[in-house]
Structure 1
Amino acid sequence: MTLQKKMAHKALTLAVLTFLALNQAQAQSAPTYPVSAKVEQTDSYHGTPVADPYRWLEDDNSEQTKAWVKSQNQVTDAFLAAMPQRLPVRKLYTDLYNFEKFGIPFKEGARYFWTRNNGLQQQAVLYTAKSPSDTPDIALDPNTLSKDGTAALGGYAASRDGKLLAYGVAAAGSDWQTWKVRDLTTGRDLADKLEWVKFSGAAWTPDGKGFFYSRYEEPAEGASLTGANYFQKLFYHRLGTPQSEDQLVASNPSEKEWGFGSEVSDDGKAVFITVWKGGEKNGLMVLPLVKGGYSAKASGEPKAISLAFDAQYVPVALNGNTLIVKTDKDAPRGRLVAIDLKASRKQPWKTLVAEGADAMTGASAVGGRLLLSYLRDASTLVRIHDLKGKPQGEVQLPGVGTASGFAGRTSDKETFFSYTSLTTPTETYRFDVAANKATLFKRPQTAFFDAEQFETQRAFVTSKDGSRVPIFIAHKKGLLLDGNNPTLLYGYGGFNVPMTPSYGITAATWMKMGGVYVLAAIRGGGEYGSAWHEAGTKLKKQNVFDDFIAAGEWLIANKYTQPAKLAINGGSNGGLLVGAVVNQRPDLFGAAVPQVGVMDMLRYQKFTIGWAWEPDYGSSDKADEFKALLAYSPLHTIKSGAAVKYPAVMVTTGDHDDRVVPAHSFKYTAALQAADTGAAPKLIRIETQAGHGAGKPTSKIIEERADMLSFIANTFKMPVQP
């Protein structure tokens, strides 16, 4: 056989295989869903009756719910297993995932610390070395903490001499953690063990004798975790003592929604206490320390800087008696202020760095300088100032993308940061502060992704009310704008969290499959400061959905794609986003994957930490906010009827999720399957060994996200070569 004939035969074989794969996808029958029982449950909200027929699914521990979960997974597993794209996509996702990933280094005492995942390890390993160039030793390997890799580091903090490590362990995706202390010289854990810790780090006192942390009281046997005594308190734990002897530092029983964070100043003279109660606005207190340690008697009570909860107050540094704070008080895009802690009477705060045109997202004091991070149209820039606020130039970043890190102490001469973009795997740099020079520390080698084959651009779409919204578009070079490109649009839009371009395996896999990946920086996030965030909250939440819909319409109008080939995805608050816009514009999308979404907007505040989301969402307890919530709540706005044609939907959640409880996804799926929404599949994929996502093992990440891409590819009839 000649070379030409061999090539023709190979092409014909590939064409036949592709034809068979497409026909297999087309021939796949619509699934038959389990019957979800309905109960007679109606609630009255300000005189408006609202039915809740799937209330029983809120009890995820009942035998009835467990049976429902099992039957739903059987249907979904069978559907996914029949997709010809599933195994090729999982192989591709695995190949792309399999490269070294490094965390941002930090230094304590004579030790440097950073994390590394060799590629497919279930959890990243924490390493330590005496210099960044030395071969590191393992400080802590969380892969040894459980057989299945579901135990994860929930947080860690090294003592100032670098000899001890406090660390939290979370299991199966839960927010609950157990904290322990490891002697890094011997590699053994001390006897200290702290329970009932959630939403907390650890802040060591400079003397190394203990650390501050926050926890909840252990509930009485059979008591609810939302009972009268269920509120967070700040404690000081002294090494070698039982948790029962920990000293109470701060609490407020009359304000049970208060939570506490702690950070010890660089000079060891004070601990900054951040007070939160949901949302981005917080309080700030300062407590003096004595000779680098804590004494309840000598330190006294914390001094309030502000407990008005009217803005953000983020401590940056203590420069003598002057506390430097990043705040958006009277400055929606952020500014730095100086507060004299020794002033005999209250004086106006002095502005060190005024609000500018760009949103200030971070601030640190390193090497006698202030390093201030900003977002300009959702990409990072970093400016340098001296401690009096005088400009000292900018950090030269590798390109238009996302940079983070820049932590350290005022006395440090160096810091580290990471840089990434949609087509650049995360690189890590060492930054010499005095020389204003960045040098590469780690650059991952990715054998299966060649960034030169892809390109990214930033565009702006006009939302319904005229607002200008940035989106980032990434794809293979030479893309033909003919309206036929499979496109995946991702968004979040909440809690002041900015969506900035960064490399992710999901995007890389989708682009390798020939798709267009789009990141939308919609309102509700922090891309342009607090005003941008607040424009997507409470009674203005519809702006978030309008922005996302506008992004989809722009992609279609500019010939990137068409509705039948436009997929949308988001998680948590982003899952709410996907559920809401599918109900509002089912005609605009071909596939949708809401992950761990907040779907019942009338009852979300009744579960676990849901009450803390009220500053963003509002509450059904208030008449005007109830009306706004009911208007977009995914569970309550599902359309039904012969003329309704929904896109293919696959909901994902975890039955161990104790942040966005699985009842949201359970009830939404039951209602969606019961409605008349057309023939496209309406599935739910329920992970039984993981929760909200934090600390999820690598194998579970690959399986879940590859299934998501396979589901979309199958819907769009995209052939994926083995």
Structure 2
Amino acid sequence: MPPRSKPVLAALSLLLPLSPLAAPKNAVPPPPVAAKEPVEDTYHGVKVADPYQWLEKSGDPQVRDWVAGQTAYTRAVLDALPSRDAIRERITGLLSHQSPAHFGMQQKGGVLFSMRFQPPRQQAALVVLPSVDDPSTARVLVDPMELDPSGHTTIDFFAPSRDGKKVAVSLSKDGTESGDVTIYDVATGKPLPGETIPRVSGGTAGGDLAWNAEGTGFFYTRYPGEERPAEDRDFFQQVYFHKLGTPTAQDTHELGKDAPRIAFFTLQSSDDGAFTLARLGNGDGGEYAFYLRGAKGAWTQVSRFEDKLVHADFGPDGALYALSHQDAPRGKLLRIPLATPSLDKATVLVPQGESSLAGLRAGATRVYLLEQLGGPTRIRMVGLDGKALGEVPTPPVSSMGAIPLEGDDLLVPLSSYTQPLTVYRYAAKEGTLTKTALGRTSPVDTRDVVVETLQCKSKDGTQVPLDVLRSAKAKRNGNNPTLLTGYGGFSISLTPGLNPLHHAFIEQGGIVAISHLRGGAEFGEAWHTQGYLTKKQNVFDDFYACAKLLVDTKWTKPARLAIQGGSNGGLLMGAALTQHPEMYRAVVARVGIYDMLRVELTPNGQFNTTEYGTVKDAAQFQALYGYSPYHHVKDKTQYPSVLFTSGDNDPRVDPFHSRKMVARLQEATGTKRPVLLRTNALGHGGGSPLSETIAENVDVYAFLFNELGVKYRPVKAPATQSPAK
């Protein structure tokens, strides 16, 4: 599911026989059989059987017993796989690489704040960075491990005051994403007494916060409390103002009384603090309305959902610079005067171009445009009058961000498929890009890795990009173990980045392929809308086209092809294995959605209706029912081996989806290949402690290697590979 708050925080030459799983020394008892109950629901006159609906009740003792039995079965299978110790050693080394990662950076009042993840610490900490050229000077402000040594507390987001003297930090536990905000004094690192605001962030509508000019208070998102019934408390998010030193009961309502039930807000303040901008999202489908609060304290509506404004930033010249999709699916840049904040007064500075406009940052004399064309990104510059000023000189086939510093200077976090995250400084006056000391070293040697982009022809003729990562020694012999992944939804693009687990697969003679499916934003909003609501089937057709190309061009064959995806990508896995079970040998489906007819009965599922559709609409019901994985499992079908993962506290995808899908597949499959359910006590994945991330991926990669007939060869850690130069 898509993030809705400020981001802080996102995997052989000697072969075994291609049997379902290597036989363990002791026979593994079969998994518990789920009882079938005669339940039938009717939608628009269509009767739909749902014999495993009882598995939706997470707290029911029978459900818990069934899950416990599935867990025992899964552990018996996975723990008996060959080379687990060597795989665990390698994955632990890769994910525990001690070179620190800095991300989510913000500068306020001349103070640079950053999240820092440095194993073996289980969670990332919030630090202050006096120098980007000397990370050793970093000072820890908030360390979740000090607050909770179990590693189950994480930072959801942070927001510094304009002068950099205070910082608001949202903290949540156990993967729930339900975060309370505490205010910390930056000089001392101590929390301000009595300054904790409950339920600012959550797993449905996220959360956000923006300070006033003086740093004496802030605007924040708030979920309802006892004023609403319990079933409404994950909805109706609104904006309040809190003045430091006063009880939260005295906080004043600012915005949102007329907002939809599935509203979520993001907030930002102008550099001088005189203006506050609120972006109201209508669920997860990409519809936004903007509101501006001026110096007199009144809110003005700048745009409506149908106006298709999607991003905005405050400029230095009394204007908003905004990204619009109105009659421009790849995006155009608008200038909106703050004095008259209306689209009627907006001027078009940059019309729609060939690339997709994905975001923007305003500097002192220019606007930086983040653009995409099929996955990789670039940063283009225009003056405040829209005049072209060239590009920031970044490497090709990479992804990047833009963090404003003083004047027009930027920090540019940059990564590629073969280079770790590196932070550069762009000096606008000189036009130079210089590497800082904040880059990570790489835990893998990627010098032998080749990256190429193929074009796959989907069912309707659409060309879909597929990035393929492989060793230069790989031969096109139709026999390479291959891992294909994708997402395809929520306007989220898969951009290049170094994933050490992908290289753990490549170093065993494998190939990794990343598909850029419709539903994402790799080519703008039209790419997104061609893969959502009633057009969701296009996503699955795109993915099948990518898999078929890998087979047709002799990189692999179905017996050696595995697929992996999570969340919306888990739905993709469910559709892939039910629509084309003959194409795949193994499937890893993480925290996915599989019952598309009952997903909207969950809190976050209601937010998803603007992306997936609702069964209340006849046409959308037909589309949902047409691909819903749970409803398309067919008896006695030769299904691939499948590993499902889920989290008990997942606020985004209810774990009942995985339970029901496992029960139906175990009943229906016509092979002896395993259908496994791996459940943990955490959430959707974000904020999981390092130890759980390692444990899950040891299971996943032991499963994949065994299923694809890869005899694991232990790999020594390479000499330290420096960040990109």
TM-score by length of 1: 0.92
Residue 667 of structure 1 corresponds to which residue in structure 2?
A: 660
Per-residue displacement from partner, 1:400-423 (whole Å, max 9, x unpaired)? 11112x1326x5342212111122
Give SS of 2:544's match: helix
Q: Quote the offset at 1:653 in angstroms.
A: 0.7
The more displaced of 279-288 and 425-434 is: 425-434
The one-character-per-residue Cα deviations of 1:358-380 (angstroms, maximum 9, x if unpaired) are 10101001232111011122211
Deviates more, 1:117-126 or 1:230-239: 117-126
Alignment pair present for 1:362 and 2:355 = no
Map 1:349-388 to 2 at 5 A: 349-388=346-385
> Relative to structure 2, which stretch is displaced further, 109-118 or 231-240?
109-118
Cα deviation for residue 434 of structure 1 reads 2.4
Q: How many angstroms apart in 1 are the aligned matches of 2:20 and 2:463?
A: 43
Instruction: Specify which of 52, 57, 67 is matched with residue 69 of structure 1.
Output: 67
Identify which range, 46-55 or 100-109, moves more after superposition.
100-109
Distance 1:707 1:285 in 2: 47
Name the counterpart of 2:267: 262
**Is 1:26–2:26 an aligned residue pair?**
no
Give the counterpart letter for 1:328 in structure 2.
Answer: H
Shift of residue 693, structure 1, vs aligned partner: 1.0
Whether 1:287 aligns to 2:287 is: no
Matching residue of 1:209: 216
Contact 2:22–2:81 (CA under 8 A) maintained in structure 1:
no
Residue deviations 1:382-406 (CA, integer Å, cap 9, x gap):
10111111111101113311112x1
Per-residue Cα deviation, 1:532-561 (whole angstroms, up to 9, x for no partner): 100001111110000000000000011111
Partner of 2:651: 658
* 1:25–1:84 contact (8 Å) kept in structure 2: no
Could you say what secondary structure the match of 2:176 adopts? Answer: coil
* SS of residue matched to 1:378: coil
Counterpart-to-counterpart distance in 2, 1:80 and 1:40: 33
Which residue number corresponds to residue 96 of structure 1? 94
1:602 corresponds, among 597, 621, 632, to: 597
User: 1:240 aligned to 2:245?
Assistant: yes
3-state secondary structure, aligned to 2:305: coil
Give, in whole Å, the separation in 2 of the partners of 1:242 and 1:273: 24
**Structure 1: how far apart are the matches of 2:490 and 2:288?**
13
After superposition, give the CA deviation of every residue in 1:457-485 in whole Å (9 maximum; x if it has no partner).
11111111110110111112221110111
For 1:403 and 1:650, the matched residues in 2 are separated by: 33
* Residues 1:193 and 2:199 are matched in the alignment: no
Structure 1 position 345, deviation (Å): 8.7
- Output the TM-score relative to the length of structure 2: 0.91
CA contact (8 A) 1:461 1:471 kept: yes
Which amino acid counterpart does residue 415 of structure 1 have in structure 2? L
Q: What pairs with 1:182-581 in structure 2 (closer than 5 Å)?
A: 182-190=184-192, 191-197=194-200, 198=202, 199-219=206-226, 223-226=229-232, 230-253=235-258, 255-278=260-283, 279-289=285-295, 298-300=296-298, 302-343=299-340, 347=344, 349-404=346-401, 406-408=402-404, 412-442=407-437, 444=439, 446=441, 448-581=443-576
Q: In the comparison of the two structures, how many residue pairs are matched? A: 691
CA contact (8 A) 1:576 1:597 kept: yes
Distance 1:22 1:672 in 2: 21
Distance 1:110 1:236, change over 3 A: same
Q: Which residue in 2 is equivalent to 1:697? A: 689
For 1:26, give the aligned amino acid.
A
8 Å Cα contact 2:302/2:341 also seen in 1 = no
Distance in 2 (alpha carbons) for counterparts of 1:254 and 1:314: 19
Which amino acid in the other structure matches residue 159 of structure 1? S
Structure 2 counterpart SS, 1:299: coil
Partner of 1:48: 46
Query: Partner amino acid for 1:200?
Result: G
CA drift of 1:218 comes to 1.6
Partner Cα distance (1:383, 1:213) in 2: 32
1:112 aligns with 2:112: yes
Note if contact 1:364-1:370 (Cα within 8 Å) is conserved in structure 2.
yes
Deviation at 1:237, TM superposition (A): 1.2
- Decide whether the 8 Å contact of 1:369 with 1:433 is kept in 2: no
Displacement of 1:616 in angstroms is: 1.6
Give the CA deviation at 1:446: 4.3
Q: Which structure is richer in relative contact order (CA contacts within 8 A, separation 6 or more)? A: 2
State which drifts further: 85-94 or 352-361: 85-94
- Give distance in 1, aligned partners of 2:408 and 2:320: 21
8 Å Cα contact 1:219-1:230 kept in structure 2: no
Q: CA deviation at 1:309?
A: 3.7
User: How far apart, CA to CA, are the structure 2 residues paired with 1:225 and 1:122?
Assistant: 33
**CA shift in 2, pair 1:394/1:64, >3 Å:** same
> How far does residue 183 in structure 1 lie from its aligned partner after superposition?
1.0
Question: 1:169-214 CA deviation, whole Å, 9 max, x = no partner?
Answer: 1111112111101112222111211112221121111211111111
8 Å contact kept, 1:152–1:695: yes
Q: 2:365, 2:291 → 1: CA distance?
A: 24
Deviation digits for residues 498-549 of structure 1 (CA, Å, limit 9, x no counterpart): 1122111221221122211110001000000010100001111110000000
Q: Does 2:127 align with 1:132?
A: no
Q: Distance in 2 between matches of 1:640 and 1:131?
A: 62
Contact 1:30–1:680 under 8 Å retained in 2? no
320 and 501 in structure 1: CA distance in 2 versus 1, 3 angstrom threshold: closer
Find the residue that maps to 2:322 and give its secondary structure.
strand
For the residues of structure 2 that align with 1:344 and 1:111, how far apart are their CA atoms?
31
What is the CA distance between 1:219 and its match in structure 2? 3.8
Preserved contact between residue 415 and residue 421 of structure 2 (Cα < 8 Å)? yes
- Alpha-carbon distance, 1:381 to partner: 1.3
Aligned to 1:179: 181
Determine if contact 1:280/1:312 at 8 Å carries over to the other structure. Answer: no
Deviation at 1:23, TM superposition (A): 9.5
CA distance in 1 between counterparts of 2:624 and 2:28 reads: 32
Query: Runs of 5+ in structure 1 lacking a partner?
Result: 1-13, 290-297
Change (3 A) 1:128 1:327: same
Q: Deviations over 1:275-298 (max 9, x none)?
A: 111111200011113xxxxxxxx4
Partner of 1:60: 58
CA contact (8 A) 1:287 1:299 kept: yes
Shift of 1:155: 0.4
Return the alpha-carbon distance in structure 1 between the equivalents of residues 465 and 166 of structure 2: 44
Alignment check: 8 A CA contact 2:168 2:184 kept: yes
Q: Greater shift after overlay, 143-152 or 652-661? A: 143-152
Describe the SS at the equivalent of 2:231. Answer: coil
Segments of 5+ residues of structure 2 without an aligned counterpart are 1-11, 715-725
Greater Cα offset, 668-677 or 438-447: 438-447
**Match of residue 3 from structure 1:** none
21 and 272 in structure 1: CA distance in 2 versus 1, 3 angstrom threshold: same
Name 1:10's counterpart in structure 2. Answer: none
Equivalent residue, structure 1, for 2:145: 143
Q: Distance in 2 between matches of 1:699 and 1:308?
A: 42
Rate the CA distance shift 1:31–1:284 in 2: closer, same or farther, 3 A. farther
RMSD: 2.2
Question: What is aligned with 2:718?
Answer: none
Paired residue secondary structure (2:676): strand
